[in-house]
Chains A and B, each alone.
Chain A
């Protein structure tokens, strides 16, 4: 294993991670809700009365974050074509619904709650992600 020192950003990643933790803290302490992005979005697709506004507001916050953070330039490296992106999106949408969570719900909030379910889910999607990258980047 070689470390990619040119892209490794320990400090900004740690600080960004702590901001994510603060956001999750705000949502759970003020609203009593878990900041799981797939769960929040999924709840909008089967809407229940009185359970829509906060979900829309949270997603709205995510969508306007780039405008607020405009001073911090990120140039995304996306090498997936549109076909791959569509397939990936489909798998992520169905998989997170079926497995009740994603990187935020299981990975951040679930691990913070020391939930055994989330630990298993996080291990599973990490392992699957690592295996997928191994196959697509090194064997195909």
Chain B
């Protein structure tokens, strides 16, 4: 059942990204381009998602257990460290360069866009590099 729920969630998530226009990198860059002709749509996407999400996560937190029976895996960390900020800045630079973030890139890859395939391959490469670097650092310590 967990598999079916995850598939359904991914499908609805992807449909939302398509409907919202976020699979168009030009629209994302239009949002980030405050000095140019600004497209505020992305703020509406986040606003709409959070509007629903606030209730869902409040219920999830209060219940403490998943409806299909498993544990509730909610992030517990509350500290703000340099890794969080530096990693997010690096992500933001990549996001601004191409207008793709992980979700829309995967959806666009699914619709057969060549550029998204290149982006997704490089993104997986970046994640692998991160894990390799972490292992090396751990060994050095």
Q: Which residues of A contact B (CB under 8 A)?
A: 1-4, 7-10, 12-35, 37-38, 41-42, 45-46, 53-55, 57-69, 72, 74-80, 82, 84-104, 106-117, 120-122, 124-134, 136-138
List A contacts of B99 (CB < 8 A).
78, 80
Q: Which of A19, A53, A77, A89 contacts B26 (CB 8 A)?
A: A77
* Chain B 24-65 interface mask (CB, 8 Å, partner A; 1/0): 111101101111111111101111111111111101110101
Contact (Cβ within 8 A) B13 A17: no
**Complex Cα distance A67/B109, Å?**
12
**Complex Cα distance A80/B43, Å?**
23
B77, closest chain A residue (CB): A117
Q: Which residues of B contact A (CB under 8 A)?
A: 1-27, 29-30, 32-42, 44-57, 59-61, 63, 65-68, 70-75, 77-80, 83-103, 105-113, 115, 118-131
**Complex Cα distance A97/B99, Å?**
18
List A contacts of B15 (CB < 8 A).
16, 19, 65, 68-69
What's the dominant secondary structure at chain B's contact region?
helix
Which 7 residue pairs spanning A and B have beta carbons closest together?
A: A61-B10, A93-B126, A99-B87, A65-B14, A16-B20, A17-B48, A128-B92
* New contact pairs (11) apart from A13-B45, A65-B11, CB-CB < 8 Å: A16-B15, A21-B51, A30-B2, A32-B65, A35-B13, A58-B9, A61-B7, A61-B8, A93-B130, A112-B49, A126-B32
Contact (Cβ within 8 A) B94 A82: no
Contact (Cβ within 8 A) A113 B5: no
**Complex Cα distance A21/B56, Å?**
8
Contact (Cβ within 8 A) A115 B78: yes
What is the distance, in angstroms, from A76's C-beta to the closest C-beta of chain B?
A: 5
B91, closest chain A residue (CB): A95
Contact (Cβ within 8 A) B19 A15: yes
Contact (Cβ within 8 A) A124 B119: no
List A contacts of B67 (CB < 8 A).
29-30
**Complex Cα distance A51/B18, Å?**
27
